[in-house]
Amino acid sequence: MKLSPEQLHGQLQKAPLPVYLVAGDEPLIVEESCDQIRAQLRSHGFSEREVLHVEGQFKWEYLLECANALSLFAEQRLIEIRLGSHKVNKAASEIIQEYIRHAPPENVLLIIADKLDGGTKKSAWVKQIEKVGAYIEIWPVEIQQLPGWIRHRAKSLNMQLDDAALHLLSDRVEGNLLAAKQELDKLHLLYPTGTISAEQIIDAVSDNSRYDVFGLMDAIAAGQGERCIKILNVLRQEGTEPPIVLWALTKETRTLYGIKLGIERGLAYETICQKERIWGKRKSTLRRCADRLTTHNLEQVLRQSQQLDKAIKGIGAGNVWLMLSDISLTLCGKSLRLPV
């Protein structure tokens, strides 16, 4: 079966399944989901745990050896495989399926992985896990979901935040759930009673926003100019090299330009997305972004990008980070109107 992290707790109230797969790119939720599984298995008598790290020379046959080995210390055992970003090849897939088909009742298998791509989700070993066990897919908490996530987390600690405090805290920990958890734990110690206000957040919480160039692209697609400026400031403070930001902006601009040209030629949007390699929810956000821009805007951005590239290389004039801000705001539908 396929479960969300919120559904996992209910499933764990039932008998343990022979195999669990926890995968996603939000480390805090991945680890907490695994902790829930481990705790519930301990309550069912699975007192022994063996951890296998999949690295360069990892031999998947060892999984079958673990399954067949008799434990010296406990009758029930958790076998934990840390897959990380490693791919499961055909031979490994067959071994995992072989294990699942003959899984001994005294063992439970837990596989922990980074986010799985579309092809891996359709692979035989993942489908076999879904058939007899549970696949817990972890998705990042989006910016619009973060206040709700923080409110729910605070409620679990018997804390209350007023609306201003909730949105201020969301702003300060955006993109960093681990920081959000740590700040809520700290607030719980500092203010154990009463409703927490924005002033208390200001006094107690540092700015732990974590951004990357992909977050900047998301903000541009959503037309969030102020957020773009904040992300650029954080990237600059963290030492991100301007060529990396320029590469991401130029790539996005060319994608948007391809969308505009495709629409002008009367192509179906789905066809354009396939050509430009746009998938999932980015289809709708980039369509809205393209709708608020003209081909002239995008051509202007590409000219600005050439000037910026020269400035970065020291053969042209201009403030690099100010020019990056101008390009970002232009793509949001606003502009600092710097000369080209």
Asked if residue 339 belongs to a domain, the reply is no
In this structure, the answer to whether residues 12 and 128 fall within a common structural domain is yes
Nearest-5° Cα angle at 135, 129 to 139: 150
Query: For residue 171, what is the domain's CATH number?
Result: 1.10.8.60
User: Which class for 28: exposed (0-12), middle (13-18), buried (19 or more C-beta within 10 A)?
Assistant: middle
Instruction: Give the closest residue to 254 by CA, choosing from 308, 212, 219, 217.
Output: 217
Tokens 């390699």 correspond to what residue? 277
Give CA separation, 284 vs 201, 207, 214, 265, in Å.
35, 31, 17, 19
Tokens 């600690």 correspond to what residue? 157
**What is the rounded CA–CA span in Å between residue 253 and residue 331?**
8
Is there a contact between 255 and 287 (Cβ–Cβ < 8 Å)?
A: no
Asked if residue 252 belongs to a domain, the reply is yes
In this structure, the answer to whether residues 109 and 151 fall within a common structural domain is no
In this structure, the answer to whether residues 168 and 71 fall within a common structural domain is no
**What is the rounded CA–CA span in Å between residue 337 and residue 97?**
59
Tokens at residue 178, please? 């681990």
Instruction: Give the closest residue to 143 by CA, choosing from 196, 194, 211.
Output: 211
Asked if residue 87 belongs to a domain, the reply is yes
- Residue 160 lies in domain: 146-204
In this structure, the answer to whether residues 259 and 317 fall within a common structural domain is yes
How much is the pTM? 0.66
Q: Outline where the chain has alpha helix (H).
A: 5-12, 27-43, 61-68, 90-101, 118-121, 124-132, 146-156, 163-173, 177-190, 198-204, 213-221, 225-237, 242-264, 269-276, 282-291, 295-312, 320-331
Q: What is the pLDDT along the chain (340 residues), one digit of tens a residue?
A: 998 888 898 889 888 999 999 999 888 999 999 999 999 999 988 888 888 888 877 888 888 887 776 555 557 889 899 988 888 888 899 999 988 888 888 889 999 999 988 889 999 999 999 999 999 999 888 888 889 999 998 988 898 998 888 888 887 787 788 888 988 998 888 888 888 888 888 777 766 666 778 888 888 998 999 889 999 998 998 888 999 899 999 989 999 999 999 999 999 999 998 888 887 778 888 999 999 999 999 999 999 999 999 999 888 888 999 999 999 999 998 766 555 4
Query: For residue 61, what is the domain's CATH number?
Result: 3.40.50.300
